[in-house]
Amino acid sequence: MTILVFEAKGQQIYPDDFPCEDSKWIYHPSTGKCYKLASASQPFAPADAKKKCGAIMQGYPAVTVSVVEIRTAEELKALKSVLIEYSLKEKINLGARRISAQNPFVWESDQKEVDFSFLPWIGNLRTGDCLVMYYTNVYIGNVKRCENPPGGFDSATMKFTPTEPYPGTTTRAVCKTGFFQRHSSGTTQYASVYKCVGIKCELDLKTLCHVELNSVGYPDKTAFKYGENITLQCIKGFGYALDLFKTTAIMECLSVPEKPDLGIWFPGPCHACSVIRCNETQMKNMVPDHAALTGARSEFTGEEYGPLQMNQFNQYGNIVTYSCDDSFFFEDWSFQKTIECTLKSGSESEGEWIGYGRTRLPLPKACQPVTCKYEDILLKPIYNIRPNFTIEFSNGTVEYGFKLRPVLYPYMTKIQYVCENGYETVTKYDVQNITCGPTARWKPQLTGCIKKEEAMKTSSGGRYVPPTVEVPSAEKLGLLMMTIIVLFFLTLLLLDLTTLHRDIRWFFNNVRLQKRLWVAKRRLQNTKAKAKI
């Protein structure tokens, strides 16, 4: 809110009983000034209030209209009486500003420094650039409050603001913290009937991340009231998001102004436990010269991170890779080093870097230029290569020799060998060029020369081409198939003959057995007949 001050400083004559422009102004005799509320419906911003000042008194050039200022105790008392008459307890802007928190406030009308020595002012303790004023009532004795407001009032869920409902005050009933209005805006005048409902947060254990599920304080409870909290135990490698030195997390049921009816957990179920991290600065400072951080991989999930995700490299369980630049390697002839973010010994909340695999800390200070070993290109008698050769270095220097020096040859060194007379390479050339490549190996590999008449057939790319093999004729293939078919049927016939022979043998055996049985029965019958006689 903004109060405008009307002060006559010229020769214009005003009636003694009404020295202000119209009845909307309030005159106070102790200061000789008139006061007016710039807007009764909605507050003015300071810049808009200044424009209002200029428009109000255009017909009175000898009169100064400005945003209210307080320079004396009398002006303070006069302003307070004006606010009481307006029944206004809102904060009102004063016509003072400052450039920054380190500078004093000055009055905008004459740029003089603000002096509040006549009142108990806390001074420039805050960082704002403007001054506001408001007053509160201090009651002596018991003043009866207004009762039974229209629409009803539930003291358990509602409260009055900005003051209690004493006679002569304007106040509103709003929902207490932890409650929300069901059908209308957040605050309501007494004329509207509404109900304040408690905010609740739902909890589904399936939505929890990186938490020991058996550590949840209320495993069977699914709804919590505003302000209630639950404790959770983070799994190894994770800590409380608001204090990573703690492994026990706390989630509290709260709400946000944008959706006062919706309860939310803070921190959220999947953010209460956050991954513990190792020192990122230390990770970056370990990068050797002529090398770079090229990636990271989680040892537990397998998730990979690229160079553009470097802020994720230092998470617990990540294996970080340092790679030498092209044509550089480490002193042990490796091209990569890896370190792992793990927990310090004896700690559950503090990470540290350790070497991973064959890597040992500290890392080398720099990667070295690639070199190739001379042992890989030593000539052997069976190579049929002339002993003389030419060496060309990357700086353009050329050497001729008959014996390689036992040294490491730098990257891009090129050596040219020549085959003996009557011999050539597998690619049918008389010379063979090999170069020290970026992987510290000679490319292509040195191979011996072979006699020209025995030269192998090769493609344009140098690959060996085997001799042509004639495909068997259709007649030969047909004869082979007929032979296979005849053998198949002969096999079936032999199997059938074998089975027939077995069945005939069993038939004669059965006949002999039947004959013996018949003879035995006849003997038994004769014996019985003789016994009866």
What integer pLDDT is reported at residue 523 of this predicted model?
80
* 283, 286, 291, 293 alpha-carbon torsion, rounded to 10°: -10
Q: Which of 203, 200, 202, 223 is nearest to 211 (CA)?
A: 203
Structure token pair of residue 341: 């973010």
- Whether residues 114 and 186 share a domain: the answer is no
Q: Is 318 exposed, middle or buried (0-12, 13-18, 19+ CB in 10 A)?
A: buried
Q: How many distinct structural domains can be found in the chain?
A: 5
In a domain, residue 56? The reply is yes
Q: What sign has the CA pseudo-torsion 68, 73, 76, 77?
A: negative
The answer on 286 and 244 residing in a single domain is no
* Amino acid making up residue 239: G
Q: Are residues 24 and 104 in the same domain?
A: yes
Q: What is this structure's pTM? A: 0.52
Examine residue 483 and state whether it is found in any structural domain, yes or no: no
Output the pLDDT for position 13.
46
Let me know whether 111 and 224 are in one domain: no
Q: State pLDDT tens for residues 59-78.
A: 555 666 778 888 888 888 88
For each successive 10 residues of the chain (533 residues), what is the average pLDDT?
A: 51 48 71 73 60 61 73 84 76 82 83 83 69 69 73 83 80 86 54 76 90 83 90 93 91 87 90 94 95 94 92 95 94 94 92 93 94 88 88 90 88 92 88 92 89 68 64 72 87 82 82 82 79 68
> Does residue 530 lie in a domain region?
no
Q: Does residue 488 belong to any structural domain of this protein? A: no
500 burial type by CB count under 10 A (0-12 exposed, 13-18 middle, 19+ buried): exposed
SS3 readout for 366-396: ECEECEECHHHHCCCHHHCEEEEEEEECCCC
pLDDT at 416: 93
The answer to whether the CB of 233 falls within 8 A of the CB of 254 is no
- Is residue 219 domain-resident? yes
Question: Quick one: 246 and 168 in the same domain?
Answer: no
- Report pLDDT for 188: 43
Which tens digits make up the pLDDT trace of 157-194?
A: 888 888 888 777 788 888 888 888 876 544 444 445 57
Q: Domain containing 222: what range?
A: 203-275
Question: 508 in a domain, yes or no?
Answer: no
Please report whether residue 81 resides in a domain.
yes
CATH number at residue 248: 2.10.70
The reply to whether 463 falls in a domain is: no
One domain, residues 253 and 304: no
373 and 352 Cβ atoms separated by less than 8 Å:
no
State the pLDDT at residue 115.
85
What's 117's domain CATH number? 3.10.100.10
